């Protein structure tokens, strides 16, 4: 049988078992209808009915080398045949090699790697390292951020939609980071936004008592919460605040790392070195769960003679590490990071900006590499988001309609609140990027119909295309 198109009967069986037994993330279980996916390759995946989707989400922004990269698949198969698992206390060739390759690409002296199973655990352990290293209790993080869904990580996450309870956040202090388009500081320029955001952060540190603050945790470029690229000087300013107050600077590069920004790490764009850097997703494109913390010499030294109070049965899992080695080597051999930079500069960036000119629903385009967001609005003047914060049901209809229009165009979008992110694999070709832009162009007509300009067009008798 054609492996790309399994028998139709299989689809019903998958759907029935999924609905009966799989409890899905972030969902009201009775209100979802997950798409049964039959296969995937490169920048595409397809369903059981032969519908193929260009993956402009990279799943959860993790398949940086696309689906089923043959070198990575082969490395996992070879490792499985050789040795599937070994406890973290042993020295293993693929684990050592993965750590060496990662340490060789992280900035500065982040030369030791603690492996986890994913991003949230990486954040948990970074926080623990910082607390033990400093002997201080508090951790600071930004509103408009995502750091994962485990106990500490979810409370560091600066998005109330994600908080499971209000009582678990002891020891977490949140602050506002820079975001000129929706400025908390009423700034007029990037320079002003940066200056005010740094003053606000320093004041928050001083009020909390610097001697009580273990760490400041930031996404280098905020991902899920909107692809917020910090203004020049911001991260250097945070580095300076941390240095002056003895605070551990943690950059969360779970989403922004391993090529997404057109550099190995987003930190490279800003020439900044944190004390701890968390990673996951792109390290092996998620082929086997893997994350980790890259640790500076100073923080690592704390644990030279004193045991690190933490560990995981699967820390540095051989299958995951083998896939990371193959992924990083493939990215280097095939110029995949350079490809992400080139596609961003020559196709995605200019193409998305051109869409903004044509579509009144696009309020702002921001990003770099293969890491972009379109901020969709009802009205460009007021910047009112196309849907309200945390919209559900009818309130969210404009974004639901937009997403459905993308899918009709064969594009799988990443949609969050009033935004769509253009986050294809770093391997995306020029032709695929253009195909994605064309699909977005069509689908944005649906969003336009919900804008003030769209309403005027409709009132004036112009047809508001549904783009389908
Ligand atoms: N940190 C950032 C910046 C993320 O984007 C994510 C996931 O999207 C996480 C942490 C959590 O990673 P995981 O879902 O692997 O636990």
Residue identifier of the C-alpha nearest atom 7 of ligand 1: 148
Closest ligand 1 atom to Cα of 117: 15
Distances (CA, A) of 290 to 281, 285, 325: 7, 9, 12
Distance 130 CA to ligand 1 centre (A): 19
Domain ranges of the chain: 8-68+336-459, 70-333
> Does the beta carbon of 340 sit less than 6 angstroms from any atom of ligand 1?
no
379: left (phi over 0), alpha (psi -120 to 50) or beta: beta
Q: Which of 119, 150, 226, 261 to mutate to test the pocket of ligand 1 (most atoms within 8 A of CB)?
A: 119
In this structure, what token pair is assigned to residue 151?
């106990």
Q: What is the pTM of this model?
A: 0.95
Q: Under a CB-based contact definition with an 8 Å cutoff, are residues 113 and 294 in contact?
A: yes
Q: Which residues contact 321 (CB under 8 A, 6 or more apart)?
A: 92, 94, 95, 97, 98, 115, 290
Task: State if residue 158 touches ligand 1 by the CB under 6 angstroms criterion.
Answer: no
What does the radius of gyration of the chain's CA atoms come to, in whole angstroms? Answer: 22
Q: How far apart are CA 406 and CA 412, in angstroms?
A: 7
Note the pLDDT of residue 462.
39
Establish whether residue 224 lines the binding site of ligand 1, counting it when its CB lies within 6 angstroms of any ligand atom: yes
Please name which of 111, 99, 105, 98 lies closest in space to residue 298, comparing C-alpha atoms: 111
**Cβ neighbours of 452 (radius 10 Å):** 16
Find out if CATH 3.40.710.10 is the number for domain 70-333: no
Closest residue by CA, ligand 1 atom 11: 148
Instruction: Ligand 1, residue 150: give the atom nearest the CA.
Output: 16
> Which structure tokens are listed for 94?
């693929």
Nearest-angstrom CA–CA distance, 269 and 381? 31
pLDDT of residue 465: 37
- The rounded Å distance from CA 450 to ligand 1 centre is 32
Report whether residue 454 contacts ligand 1, using a CB cutoff of 6 Å. Answer: no
Q: Mean pLDDT, consecutive 10-residue segments, the chain of 468 residues?
A: 60 94 95 95 96 98 98 98 98 98 98 98 98 96 95 86 68 96 96 98 96 97 98 98 98 98 98 98 98 98 97 98 98 98 98 98 98 97 94 93 98 97 98 98 97 68 36
Residue 419 structure tokens: 């935004």
Please tell me whether the interface predicted TM-score (ipTM) of this complex is above 0.85: yes
Strand ranges across the sheet with 44-47: 37-41, 44-47, 52-55, 411-412
Burial 273-297 (b: 16+ CB within 10 A, else e): bbbbbbbbbbbbbbbbbbbbbbbbe
CATH class of this structure's domain 8-68+336-459: alpha beta
Distances (CA, A) of 274 to 26, 76, 224, 229, 456: 31, 31, 21, 17, 49
Distances (CA, A) of 113 to 313, 316, 321: 16, 9, 12
Q: For residue 147, count CB atoms less than 10 angstroms from its CB and return exposed for 0-12, middle for 13-18, buried for 19 or more.
A: buried
| Ligand 1 proximity of 252 Cβ (cutoff 6 Å) | yes
> What SS3 state is found at 159?
coil
- What's the confidence (pLDDT) of residue 241? 98
Look at residue 390 in the predicted model and tell me its pLDDT: 87
pLDDT at 208: 93
Indicate whether residue 270 lines ligand 1 (CB < 6 A). Answer: no
Q: How far apart are CA 330 and CA 380, in angstroms?
A: 43
Give the residue whose CA is nearest to atom 1 of ligand 1. 147
**Cβ(147) – ligand 1 distance below 6 Å:** yes
Ligand 1 center from residue 123 Cα (angstroms): 9
Atom of ligand 1 nearest to the CA of 252: 3
Q: Note the pLDDT of residue 166.
A: 58
Whether residue 280 has its Cβ less than 6 Å from ligand 1: yes
Rounded to whole angstroms, the Cα distance separating 227 from 271 reads 19
pLDDT value, residue 4: 57
- Ligand 1 centre distance from Cα of residue 338 (Å): 24
pLDDT at position 163, please?
Answer: 78
Cβ neighbours of residue 180 closer than 8 Å, sequence gap 6 or more:
187, 189, 190, 193, 231
Nearest ligand 1 atom to alpha carbon 123: 10
């Amino acid at each position: 049988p054609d492996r790309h198109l399994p028998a139709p009967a299989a689809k019903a069986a998958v759907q029935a078992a999924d609905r009966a037994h799989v409890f899905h993330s972030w969902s009201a279980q009775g209100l979802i209808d997950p798409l049964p996916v039959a296969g995937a390759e490169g920048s595409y995946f397809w369903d059981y009915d032969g519908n193929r989707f260009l993956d402009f989400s990279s799943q959860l922004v993790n398949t940086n080398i696309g689906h089923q990269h043959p070198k990575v698949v082969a490395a996992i198969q070879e490792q499985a045949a050789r040795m599937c698992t070994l406890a973290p206390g042993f020295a293993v060739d693929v684990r050592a090699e993965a750590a060496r390759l990662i340490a060789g690409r992280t900035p500065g002296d982040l030369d030791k790697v603690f492996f986890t199973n994913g991003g949230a655990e990486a954040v948990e352990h970074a926080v623990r390292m910082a607390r033990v290293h400093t002997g201080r209790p508090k951790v600071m993080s930004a509103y408009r951020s995502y750091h994962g869904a485990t106990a500490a990580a979810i409370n560091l996450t600066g998005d109330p939609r994600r908080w499971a309870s209000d009582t678990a956040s002891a020891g977490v202090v949140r602050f506002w980071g820079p975001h000129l388009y929706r400025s908390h500081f009423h700034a007029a320029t990037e320079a002003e936004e940066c200056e005010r955001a740094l003053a606000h952060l320093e004041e928050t540190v001083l009020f909390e008592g610097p001697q009580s603050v273990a760490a400041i945790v930031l996404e280098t470029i905020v991902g899920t919460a909107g692809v917020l690229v910090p203004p020049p000087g911001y991260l250097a300013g945070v580095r300076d605040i941390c240095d002056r107050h003895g605070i551990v600077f943690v950059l969360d590069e779970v989403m922004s790392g391993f090529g997404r920004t057109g550099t190995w790490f987003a930190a490279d764009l800003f020439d900044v070195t944190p004390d701890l850097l968390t990673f996951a997703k792109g390290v092996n494109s998620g082929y086997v769960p893997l994350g980790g913390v890259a640790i500076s010499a100073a923080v690592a030294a704390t644990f030279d003679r004193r045991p690190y109070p933490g560990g995981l049965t699967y820390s540095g899992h051989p299958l995951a590490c083998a896939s990371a080695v193959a992924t990083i080597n493939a990215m280097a051999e095939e110029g995949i990071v350079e490809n992400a930079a080139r596609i961003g500069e020559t196709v995605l960036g200019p193409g998305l900006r051109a869409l903004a000119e044509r579509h009144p629903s696009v309020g702002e385009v921001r990003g770099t590499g293969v890491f972009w967001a379109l901020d969709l609005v009802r009205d460009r003047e007021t910047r009112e988001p196309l849907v309200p914060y945390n919209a559900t049901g009818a309130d969210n209809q404009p974004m639901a309609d937009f997403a459905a229009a993308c899918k009709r165009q064969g594009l799988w979008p990443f949609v969050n609140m009033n935004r769509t992110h253009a986050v294809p694999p770093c391997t995306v070709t020029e032709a695929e990027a253009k195909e994605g832009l064309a699909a977005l162009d069509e689908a944005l007509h649906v969003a336009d119909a919900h804008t003030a300009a769209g309403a005027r067009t409709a009132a004036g008798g112009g047809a508001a295309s549904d783009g389908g």
